[in-house]
């Protein structure tokens, strides 16, 4: 238990730490741009390095203070400060500075006023395009964007009215140009498609409105975390692990990734299962699957808790979500199939196994044995956590963390924004290895220095060896306690 003097010291350290974090977020929102090459990437990493320094000191300060353990004022201070940090990053990506004229142009669909990359990420253009397709009556799973190229698509040549609806102005041609991997159909499940459609209904093509929707979901994650923490009787400062995390703030408010939506569903599902409400838990888990297919791996951990009513609710919700898109036929999961087969980014053990396969079996595609090895390891993790006795709510939450976290680190594509739906579970179990990993994953953006997509072995080693070493260190420290 810290003394009064230690608590006062931590309180005085907290304010400058939060100022440092806020300053870095303000720079990220108003001054940083996704410039390729060393200068831009170094500037980005430096700013968010300062953000993580402030974040780490702030967590240390608030965790050690004796006054904050179950204080509602502390919770509100964390939530409000988290909101401010997110608001700082909302303008990230606006070309050549923020102005009221540019905001109006974005909200009215007059001009595209954003850079193609929002802090080195550009998935938002696919989101907006999917919403636009639905608005004009096109199933977003049916066509890859390349199949709807303006002035060149056979589909549009045979249906000039559809071309007029899809491209009523240069605004939509410009947004179409910003989409990456145009040859691949969308991979995003129905709940996200509904979010894209809602954003389009509010303000067609607006990045800012879409960011506001994600901001609401992100704040919902913070509120849901506070609710589950109360159920677990954990101190309220734990919300700050997620609410103040710079990577979460950057990926949601800065880069407009949609992963706050599955994160919200997962936290609410966990909370419902902990409260012995299997039907509600099953519904939220199904919504999580409709936002991201990955929560399917949690079914072995909850199948007994769900009961037959929960299973019926789960299946009904999932089928209802996909029903409006079934006319896509075999194309419904085509994008996901391509992604799961071919995508490689920031790999950890997968890359090690691939290197070994390349040297041991040079005539075989090295990705195949690497996927088999990682798949077997993941299966072992699932069986281990499935067989592990659950003695407390924390054990149940930790099982979720191990399975979802194992899926992430053993996959061929370890996207930084995937940690958005891992960090809430890390907060609930207070596993700081994932906090360290969220900082290390910033180095994955180093790839933009070269611009050729090649992953340097030293960088992958720092990120993933750092994760496993921190995991072992944390385990050792907990064993000593």
User: How far is the C-alpha of 24 from the C-alpha of 28, rounded, in Å?
Assistant: 6
Q: What pLDDT is attached to residue 481? A: 55
Q: Is the pLDDT of residue 190 over 90?
A: yes
Residue 345, strand partner residues: 413
**Between these two residues, 38 and 69, which has the higher pLDDT value?**
38
Which SS3 state, helix, strand or coil, does residue 345 take? Answer: strand
311-326 per-position pLDDT tens digit? 999 999 999 999 999 9
Q: Is the pLDDT of residue 301 over 90?
A: yes
Instruction: Work out the burial of residue 93: count CB atoms within 10 Å of its CB; fewer than 13 is exposed, 13-18 middle, 19 or more buried.
Output: buried
Q: Is the pLDDT of residue 8 over 90?
A: no
What share of residues in the chain are helix, strand, coil (percent, to 5)? 75, 0, 25
Residue 1 pLDDT class (50, 70, 90 cuts): very low
- Average pLDDT on 45-65 reads 86
Q: Is the pLDDT of residue 64 over 70?
A: no
- Average pLDDT on 192-206 reads 97
Question: DSSP state, 456?
Answer: P
Residue 232 pLDDT class (50, 70, 90 cuts): confident
412-422 per-position pLDDT tens digit? 999 999 999 99
Minimum mean pLDDT among 58-72, 221-235, 370-384, 459-473: which range? 58-72
- Average pLDDT on 429-433 reads 94
CB under 8 Å to 107, separation ≥6 — which residues? 203, 206, 208, 209
128-154 per-position pLDDT tens digit? 999 999 999 999 999 999 999 988 888
341-391 per-position pLDDT tens digit? 999 999 999 999 999 999 998 888 999 999 999 999 999 999 999 999 898
| pTM of this structure | 0.94
Q: Is the pLDDT of residue 2 over 70?
A: no
User: How far is the C-alpha of 401 from the C-alpha of 265, rounded, in Å?
Assistant: 15
**Mean pLDDT of all residues in the chain?**
91
Which SS3 state, helix, strand or coil, does residue 275 take? Answer: coil
Q: Are 377 and 359 in contact (CB under 8 A)?
A: no
């Amino acid at each position: 238990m810290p003394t009064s003097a230690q608590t006062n010291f931590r309180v005085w350290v907290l304010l400058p730490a939060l100022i440092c974090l806020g300053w870095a977020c303000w720079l990220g929102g108003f001054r940083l741009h996704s410039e390729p090459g060393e200068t831009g990437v170094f500037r980005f990493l430096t700013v968010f390095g300062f953000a993580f320094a402030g974040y780490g000191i702030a967590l240390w300060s608030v965790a050690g203070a004796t006054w904050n353990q179950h204080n509602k004022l502390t919770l509100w201070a964390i939530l409000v400060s988290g909101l401010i940090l997110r608001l700082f990053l909302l303008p990230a990506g606006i070309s050549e500075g923020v102005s009221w004229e540019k905001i109006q142009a974005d909200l009215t669909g007059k001009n595209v006023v954003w850079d193609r990359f929002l802090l080195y990420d550009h998935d938002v253009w696919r989101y907006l395009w999917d919403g636009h397709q639905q608005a004009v009556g096109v199933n977003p799973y049916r066509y890859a964007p390349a199949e709807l190229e303006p002035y060149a698509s056979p589909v549009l040549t045979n249906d000039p009215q559809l071309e007029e609806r899809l491209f009523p102005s240069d605004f939509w041609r410009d947004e179409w140009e910003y989409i990456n991997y145009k040859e691949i159909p969308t991979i995003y499940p129905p709940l996200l498609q509904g979010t894209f459609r809602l954003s389009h209904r509010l303000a067609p093509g607006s990045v800012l409105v879409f960011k506001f929707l994600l901001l609401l979901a992100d704040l919902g994650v913070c509120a849901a975390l506070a609710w589950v923490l109360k159920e677990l009787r954990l101190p309220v400062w734990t919300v700050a692990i997620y609410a103040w995390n710079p990577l979460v703030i950057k990926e949601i408010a800065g880069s407009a990734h949609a992963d706050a939506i599955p994160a919200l569903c997962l936290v609410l599902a966990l909370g419902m299962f902990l409260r012995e409400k299997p039907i509600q838990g099953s519904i939220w888990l199904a919504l999580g699957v409709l936002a991201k297919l990955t929560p399917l791996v949690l079914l072995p951990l909850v199948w007994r808790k769900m009961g037959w009513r929960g299973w019926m609710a789960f299946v009904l919700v999932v089928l209802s979500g996909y029903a409006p898109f079934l006319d896509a036929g075999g194309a419904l999961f085509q994008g996901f199939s391509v992604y799961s087969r071919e995508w490689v980014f920031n790999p950890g053990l997968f890359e090690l196994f691939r290197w070994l396969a390349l040297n041991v079996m040079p005539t075989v595609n090295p990705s195949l044995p690497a996927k088999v090895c990682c798949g077997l390891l993941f299966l072992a993790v699932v069986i281990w956590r499935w067989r592990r006795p659950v003695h407390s709510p924390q054990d149940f939450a930790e099982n979720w963390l191990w399975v979802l976290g194992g899926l992430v680190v053993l996959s061929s594509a370890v996207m930084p924004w995937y940690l958005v739906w891992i960090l809430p579970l890390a907060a609930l179990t207070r596993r700081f290895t994932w906090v360290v990993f969220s900082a290390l994953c910033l180095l994955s953006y180093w790839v933009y220095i070269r611009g050729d997509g090649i992953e340097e072995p030293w960088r992958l080693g720092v990120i993933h060896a750092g994760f496993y070493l921190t995991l072992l260190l944390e385990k050792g420290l907990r064993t000593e306690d």
